[in-house]
Amino acid sequence: MFKRTGTALAVTAAAGLVLAGCSSSDDTDAEATASGEAAAGGDITLAAFNGWDESIATSLLWQNILNDKGYNASVDYADAAVGFQGIADGDYDILTDVWLPLTHAAYLEEFGDDMEEVGAWFDSAALTVAVNADAPIDSLDELAANADEFDNRIVGIEAGAGLTATVKDATIPGYGLEELDFVTSSTPAMLSELDKATTDGENIVVTLWEPHWAYGAYDLKNLEDPEGTLGEAENIVTYSRTGFGEEFPEVTGWLADFTMEADLLYDLENELNGADSADREQIVADWVAANQEWVDSLTA
């Protein structure tokens, strides 16, 4: 929202000129606004999900782009439930990481009336249960019988994540895996265990998703899901708070047209992987400079 201030001029002889000037300026502003060419500006807060690398990467990317275009963009980090609540309450403006139709369906049912769909930017996302590539099984229906090969554990991510709910409510009962210990704590903790197991040559089962940089960093395979408990390929969709599209039509248009190929996303995620939060903005700035032509096309 813009605020304008003016100075009252007391020179009577110049009043007519002042009024004429203001009228001309107002007309110009109105024409610019009507044509979608209003000057950039305003505060925009993007919500990024803790532990979700594509959420962090795309939020930081758009923060860089929007700041370059004259906006004052910032990124706040939150768990999924807090992120959705914040968008619905108007505390956040943009959320780039809504997985549909399955993973975040419950959040959309709860908060969707107070959010605005902007557009899908990735159309082949998938929830997965992955193992090291040389593990002795290839399918989820083999896991119960071979649970001891994996220390009777499935290593998950955050307890409140949609992926966690899907594995708990559908995958585990669907394949009789109730006797396995389903460990949930955080995505970084899961990745730490994955790194250690693959380094030590041990078997491990983790809940994961695509796109994710881990598929480029480790030799993994997704366990087949013949019962379809993890759902089909999903879209990753950007949402905004109610009213954002009307207030920021230019930004909404850019985000509506935004798409990103997996190789570019993995490249950015890998650059950010393991970096201190204080270094993230500079890492993204360097990445943008190295991919300037593509980045410029997002707002062309």
Where does 61-136 show beta strands of DSSP type E?
72-78, 94-100, 115-132
Same fold, 43-124+233-297 and 126-222: yes
The per-residue pLDDT of the chain, averaged, comes to 88
Q: Which of 138, 140, 136 is nearest to 202 (CA)?
A: 136
- Pairwise CA distance, residues 177 & 164, whole Å: 14
Given the structure tokens 């795309």, which residue do they identify?
58
Per-residue confidence (pLDDT) for residue 30, from 0 to 100 = 43
Q: Is 22 helix (H, G, I), strand (E, B) or coil?
A: helix
- Pairwise CA distance, residues 278 & 283, whole Å: 10
Where does 152-261 show beta strands of DSSP type E?
153-155, 181-183, 205-210, 220-222, 234-241
Q: What angle do CA 104, 89, 30 make, to 5 degrees?
A: 110
- Pairwise CA distance, residues 258 & 240, whole Å: 14
- Pairwise CA distance, residues 4 & 26, whole Å: 11
Kindly report the number of other CB atoms within 10 A of residue 167's CB atom: 24
- What does CATH list as the number for 43-124+233-297? 3.40.190.10
- What does CATH list as the number for 126-222? 3.40.190.100
Per-residue confidence (pLDDT) for residue 40, from 0 to 100 = 66
Digit-coded pLDDT (tens) for 14-71? 333 333 333 334 444 444 444 343 446 899 999 999 888 999 999 999 999 999 999 9
Per-residue confidence (pLDDT) for residue 21, from 0 to 100 = 39
CB proximity list for 106: less than 8 A, separation 6 or greater: 162, 165
- Pairwise CA distance, residues 280 & 117, whole Å: 27
DSSP 230: T
Give the residue-averaged pLDDT of 236-249: 98
Give the residue-averaged pLDDT of 241-265: 96
Q: Which of 34, 30, 62, 32 is nearest to 48 (CA)?
A: 62
Cα atoms in the Cβ-side hemisphere of radius 13 Å centred on 248 = 27
- Pairwise CA distance, residues 131 & 185, whole Å: 18
pLDDT at residue 255 is higher than 90: yes
Digit-coded pLDDT (tens) for 69-84? 999 999 999 999 999 9
- Helix segments in 90-243, DSSP class H: 105-111, 162-166, 172-174, 187-200, 214-217
Residue 84 near residue 49 (C-beta atoms within 8 A): no
Q: How far, in Å, are 129, 135, 184, 270 from residue 156 at the CA level?
A: 9, 18, 5, 21
Q: Tell me the domain boundaries of the chain.
A: 43-124+233-297, 126-222
Digit-coded pLDDT (tens) for 115-154? 999 999 999 999 999 999 999 999 999 999 999 999 999 9
Question: 177: pLDDT confidence band, cut at 50, 70 and 90?
Answer: very high
